[in-house]
Chains A and B, each alone.
Chain A
């Protein structure tokens, strides 16, 4: 009897926490961490080593999570905005990365597939790559905003053609960049032991945070996503806002294209960033954002992206075959989504209430 008020207080506390959107990825992360603490603590060990160039680098499973999860996190930023504004997802981001990566390599290499020196400064190549990716985003955005196509269908066009266009840009050759400076973006900058992609992701996050803080784009995107007609009556232009969201996603895709090509110094059109669109959408869903548009939380999405990479690395550490990983991921995703489904939550809370109401009467009898 004495425990009862205590429990209800804890219940209220947990209910309050559960309402917080960021709880969903945090809970998933906590579960994975507990799992590792029990099964294999060496997962958390981080050591400082020196790579072939003699520069200090941090290594360890956690570092590899924040390293390879960065592209996903950057994509999740743009995808969240697109989801919020248009109530749909862009499935052409993988193809977009192929295009921007191909353009970057094309500018760097010129007509010769494996030149001795780069033909253009990296920043120029990066900007042109971003421009190409933003153009793809604008194409998707125009289809969604002006022709009122469903986002998934509109982006299906580039999803089909993107990798072919990427191959066409380089005439189906595989350019190779051997310059060491180009490798910095996907590896380590000398003297800094933290992987560069993670730093880039942090910069992207800060820029987005500042953008959301000092402009109204976040608020407008939510307004358009929640009710397009009302937002129009309030003097917003839904089409322009949707288009902006897609262009921002395009810029994120351009950044990812740089990181992805820098990691290997080359490109494989059919394999680069394969299935990353699915992971990016999952990151948004795992962040607790409604996939039908409206309210969003950028930090929850970014955290969701890293949690997905955490899960992938966990599965790798359990010696799961790379091709089979998707099956386990699917089970986890379904479990998460089912647990956070409103219908299930309602039923669960009703059950809890019944159990609470049932206990005292049972003890009385």
Chain B
């Protein structure tokens, strides 16, 4: 009895952010355990997890930016377009203009920063709806990508290929193949970048004044204004950071695929939004955590891997499963928040009564 009470009290004292994040982490772990025991073999190798991370490093970075914007109460749907634009510009720069990797990286950062600056200014200081601004940003980026270059092509630049093929071995987690040879487990550079960004964002959101003001602005603009927080600057900063992260994410995406194409990263903005939501960020603002977002991305791609490995390999199953998962998460979140609100209201009534 006391244990139940303790757990209930613990759950009640938890903030929305922590509760939603821990649900995501829990679901991810359960899913992975089911995959290990139900599907066996492949999933026991750490490399399977690392492959998921390799393929989704860019998505993790994009989702981090989106999480920040969503925490501050906005939305950014231009990240997929910016990713495509960055990879196309870098590809053209490397192959047709004889550029090197460093200038390509600078171009990527510049594009991201430019999008962040313009969109942030329009949203924060001219008070135009973020949805419309970033919708136009997405159209603009996608259109510009085809103007820069029409056809998809693979990059042949030597310096870039060298960078692309760098694999960082993870000691002690390798596995033996069929012939008994030991193969090291590896991750790509993008994963390291993504993890560093997650860590930086986590620290920033948790322990700095700027980080906390994002939550305040997202939670309640009016109260934040009364607390003396510069609401406009905070909104601007959120969109600026999101744009910058879209630039970095675009470069990481480019490093993973090694080609430029107008159809790159199509629908990536919706994947990023879905990952953030599954990771416990609420679109109403004020609730969320990049740590949860990391697990949101992993859970989303894990379920895709599971679906294709149990034989449902017709193309439509993947989308339908992802949508079903998103639906379940959204409903669970909304029910939890509603129940907690009711409990909160009843508790305050008891106090006053």
Residues of A within 8 A of B (CB): 89, 143, 147-150, 152-154, 156-161, 163-165, 167-168, 172, 278, 281-282, 285, 291-292, 321, 323-331, 333-334, 337-338, 341-344
B330 contacts the other chain (Cβ, under 8 Å)? yes
- Max count, chain B CB within 10 A of own CB: residue among A152, A158, A292: A152
A291 close to B131 (CB less than 8 A) = yes
30 residue pairs bridging A and B, Cβ less than 8 Å apart: A89-B131, A143-B327, A143-B330, A147-B331, A148-B334, A149-B334, A153-B330, A159-B270, A160-B274, A160-B319, A161-B322, A164-B320, A172-B314, A278-B139, A281-B132, A282-B132, A321-B146, A324-B144, A324-B147, A326-B143, A327-B142, A327-B147, A329-B139, A329-B143, A331-B140, A334-B122, A334-B140, A337-B122, A338-B128, A341-B127
Closest 3 CB pairs of A and B: A327-B143, A161-B323, A164-B316
Complex interface: chain B residues within 8 A of A159 (CB): 270
B338 contacts the other chain (Cβ, under 8 Å)? yes
A153 close to B283 (CB less than 8 A) = yes
A158 close to B323 (CB less than 8 A) = yes
Complex interface: chain B residues within 8 A of A285 (CB): 129, 132
Complex interface: chain A residues within 8 A of B317 (CB): 164
B319 close to A157 (CB less than 8 A) = no
A338 close to B320 (CB less than 8 A) = no
B137 contacts the other chain (Cβ, under 8 Å)? yes
| Residue from the list B131, B326, B334 in contact with A147, Cβ < 8 A | B334
Once A156-B274, A164-B316, A167-B315 are accepted as A-B contacts, the answer to whether A343 and B125 lie under 8 Å apart by CB is yes
A343 close to B137 (CB less than 8 A) = no
B335 contacts the other chain (Cβ, under 8 Å)? yes
A330 close to B284 (CB less than 8 A) = no
B137 close to A147 (CB less than 8 A) = no
**CB-defined interface of B312-349 with A at 8 Å, one 1/0 digit per residue?**
00111111101110110011001100100000000000
| Residue from the list A157, A278, A324, A334 in contact with B327, Cβ < 8 A | A157
Complex interface: chain B residues within 8 A of A163 (CB): 319
Complex interface: chain B residues within 8 A of A164 (CB): 315-320, 323
- Taking the closest CB of chain B, its distance from the CB of A5, in whole angstroms, is 33
| Residue from the list B138, B142, B273 in contact with A153, Cβ < 8 A | B273
- Max count, chain A CB within 10 A of own CB: residue among B137, B138, B319: B319
Chain B contact residues: over half helix, strand or loop, or mixed?
Answer: helix
- Smallest CB-CB separation from A286: which chain B residue? B132
Once A158-B323, A330-B140 are accepted as A-B contacts, the answer to whether A153 and B135 lie under 8 Å apart by CB is no
| Residue from the list A157, A281, A343 in contact with B135, Cβ < 8 A | A281
B316 close to A330 (CB less than 8 A) = no
Report how far A258 CA is from B114 CA in the complex, Å. 42
Complex interface: chain A residues within 8 A of B7 (CB): none
- Smallest CB-CB separation from B317: which chain A residue? A164
- Max count, chain A CB within 10 A of own CB: residue among B135, B140, B317: B135
- Taking the closest CB of chain B, its distance from the CB of A156, in whole angstroms, is 6
- Smallest CB-CB separation from A344: which chain B residue? B126
Residues of B within 8 A of A (CB): 75, 122, 125-129, 131-133, 135-140, 142-144, 146-147, 150, 262, 270, 273-274, 277, 283-284, 314-320, 322-324, 326-327, 330-331, 334-335, 338
Report how far A327 CA is from B137 CA in the complex, Å. 9
Complex interface: chain A residues within 8 A of B318 (CB): 164
A-B CB pair tally, cutoff 8 Å: 134
Report how far A154 CA is from B329 CA in the complex, Å. 11
Sample of 5 more A-B contacts, CB < 8 Å, known A150-B283, A152-B131, A334-B122: A149-B330, A157-B323, A160-B319, A168-B314, A327-B147
A152 close to B322 (CB less than 8 A) = no
A168 close to B143 (CB less than 8 A) = no
Report how far A329 CA is from B143 CA in the complex, Å. 9
Report how far A164 CA is from B338 CA in the complex, Å. 32
A333 close to B330 (CB less than 8 A) = no
| Residue from the list A148, A161, A326 in contact with B319, Cβ < 8 A | A161
- Taking the closest CB of chain B, its distance from the CB of A293, in whole angstroms, is 11
Complex interface: chain A residues within 8 A of B274 (CB): 156, 160
Complex interface: chain A residues within 8 A of B140 (CB): 326-327, 330-331, 334
| Residue from the list A153, A161, A168, A172 in contact with B277, Cβ < 8 A | A153
- Taking the closest CB of chain A, its distance from the CB of B23, in whole angstroms, is 16
Once A150-B284, A152-B75, A338-B128 are accepted as A-B contacts, the answer to whether A160 and B147 lie under 8 Å apart by CB is no
- Taking the closest CB of chain B, its distance from the CB of A330, in whole angstroms, is 4
- Taking the closest CB of chain B, its distance from the CB of A307, in whole angstroms, is 16
Report how far A364 CA is from B144 CA in the complex, Å. 52
Complex interface: chain A residues within 8 A of B323 (CB): 157-158, 160-161, 164
Report how far A338 CA is from B136 CA in the complex, Å. 12
Report how far A334 CA is from B146 CA in the complex, Å. 20
- Smallest CB-CB separation from B263: which chain A residue? A323
| Residue from the list B131, B136, B273 in contact with A330, Cβ < 8 A | B136
Complex interface: chain A residues within 8 A of B324 (CB): 161
Complex interface: chain B residues within 8 A of A153 (CB): 273, 277, 283, 330
- Max count, chain A CB within 10 A of own CB: residue among B139, B277, B315, B322: B139
Report how far A360 CA is from B28 CA in the complex, Å. 72
Report how far A228 CA is from B317 CA in the complex, Å. 38
B319 close to A324 (CB less than 8 A) = no
Report how far A28 CA is from B319 CA in the complex, Å. 39
Report how far A282 CA is from B140 CA in the complex, Å. 14
- Smallest CB-CB separation from B276: which chain A residue? A153
Complex interface: chain A residues within 8 A of B277 (CB): 153, 156
Report how far A344 CA is from B121 CA in the complex, Å. 12
Report how far A27 CA is from B316 CA in the complex, Å. 44
- Max count, chain B CB within 10 A of own CB: residue among A160, A172, A285, A321: A160
Complex interface: chain A residues within 8 A of B322 (CB): 160-161
Report how far A334 CA is from B122 CA in the complex, Å. 9
B128 close to A168 (CB less than 8 A) = no
B334 close to A168 (CB less than 8 A) = no
A147 close to B135 (CB less than 8 A) = no
A341 close to B143 (CB less than 8 A) = no
